[in-house]
Each structure stands twice: as C-alpha cells, then as structure tokens.
Copies of this chain bind each other. A is one copy, B any other.
C-alpha cells in the first residue's frame, strides 16, 4: 500500500517579502519522512483571504493530509482560522473548551483575557483541538487539515501533538554516497542504475568544495535490502 500523502501550506506575508526565512517546512518534511507520510507539495502564500481559501481547498482534495503554519494569533493579520472555516463552509465562533484553556492560562499569568486574546479561541464548527504545550492557544484539525502556529517552537510542539494520531506508512529510508567526481562523469552510469531500480528514488546533489567538484548520491526507498543492493552497485561503479 502506498504511503499517505501530505501537503504543507505556509501562511504569511513575512515569508514572501523575504523578512523571515521559513523553517517549519523543513522541520515538518523530516518528521513526515520518519513517520511514513510522503510530503508531495508545499506552498507559501500571503495573508490574503481568497488566496488561502483557494489553496486549502486544492491541497485538501489532492492529499490525505494538509498541514498549515501561521496566522492563528490574536492580531488583525491572523486570519487562518476564518479561512479554514470558509474553505469547508463551516461557521466559526469562540468555543468553550478553547476559551477555558486560555482563561486558565491568563489567570495563572495575571494577564487579561481581552477581546484580542479571545480571538485565539475562535474554532471552526466540528474541529478537534491540537494541544499547544508551549503557549496554550490551541491549533485545530478540521477534516484533513491540521492548523498550527507559525512560531517554530509552537509549530514543532503541535506537530508532536498531531503526528502520533495519524496513521503512517513505511518510513522512507535513505543512504548517501559521496563521490568526488563531477556530475557529468557520474550521470551516465547513475542513469543506468536508476533504470535498474525503478522502485527506488536516486538523486544526485552536486557540490563544489575547495575547488573539488563532486556529488552526494542519495538512494531512498522503503525496502532497506533493495537500497543496500543498489548502494553496493553504486560503490562498485565509483571506487575511491
């Protein structure tokens, strides 16, 4: 059975303006690979209602899971929850269990649960909350979309809350061989090898270091023995 597929949607003007370099996609990619869920696509969009709704609909219908980051805080530019509700034609309002989490948190810290903070308890109808052990305000899952915060420490904690609840497939295994020859030399034999092992993914990632051209050849797949076999042939092709 093929692994479940996933897409990620990174939401935020700050990514597209170049102000902030996203790190959540790279983190999620690694976690999904370990869990046996294949990340097939990632999109980065700005804080625009229609753009987000369109992307959520497209990704949700094309993949088993969608993970979003960003836009669930208390400020005016945090519009993700409303966009998710709109994408699935659901109502959205402050929900008692989410409000209770925030109320208890702010009671402890002595801050006021004001109107802005209460926005973080607005949850689309029918969603399940995602626990936030870092800063309490929850994420949520609606249909196959998992909505999480953009702050990396919170995003990572939410991924840790959600991932164990999802059925994974076979983890993707990989082995790497560094070859100190140019890709132009490697390419011919490597192409033959790739044809001989159609069930494996064989990638070539060139580098240039201290004037030496080379490439890291990465062989990936779910069958460890098959990877060993391909790696042995690769090593024979390019002895040190």
A164 at the interface (CB under 8 A from B): no
Q: Are B44 and A25 in contact (CB under 8 A)?
A: yes
* CB contact list, A92-148 vs B, under 8 A: 111-112, 114-117, 119, 135
Which B residues are in CB contact (< 8 Å) with A229?
Answer: none
The verdict on A18 contacting B30 (CB below 8 Å), with A75-B191, A186-B75 known, is: yes
A180 at the interface (CB under 8 A from B): no
Residue interface mask A38-73, B partner, CB < 8 A = 1: 011111111100010000000000000000000001
The verdict on A77 contacting B17 (CB below 8 Å), with A40-B46, A43-B42, A44-B42 known, is: no
Highest count of chain B CB atoms <10 Å: which of A33, A119, A205 = A205
Which B residues are in CB contact (< 8 Å) with A184?
Answer: 74, 111-112, 114, 116-117
Which B residues are in CB contact (< 8 Å) with A163?
Answer: none
Copies of this protein chain in the complex? 2
Query: What is the predominant secondary structure among interface residues of chain A facing chain B?
Result: mixed
Which B residues are in CB contact (< 8 Å) with A116?
Answer: 183-188, 191
CB contact between A17 and one of B29, B186, B195, B208 (< 8 Å): that residue: B29
Q: Are A194 and B111 in contact (CB under 8 A)?
A: no
Question: CA A203 – CA B76 in complex, angstroms?
Answer: 8
* Contact residues on A (Cβ < 8 Å of other chain), bracket: 35 or more
Which B residues are in CB contact (< 8 Å) with A14?
Answer: 203, 205, 218
Within the complex, what minimum Cβ distance (angstroms) separates A231 from chain B? 16
Which B residues are in CB contact (< 8 Å) with A44?
Answer: 25, 41-43
Question: CA A205 – CA B73 in complex, angstroms?
Answer: 9
The verdict on A41 contacting B41 (CB below 8 Å), with A29-B17, A73-B204 known, is: no
6 pairs of A and B residues whose beta carbons are closest in the complex: A116-B187, A18-B29, A18-B30, A117-B184, A76-B191, A75-B204
Question: Which residues of A approach B to under 8 Å, CB–CB?
Answer: 12-23, 25-33, 39-47, 51, 73-77, 111-112, 114-117, 119, 135, 151, 153, 172, 174, 182-188, 190-191, 194-195, 201-208, 215, 218, 220
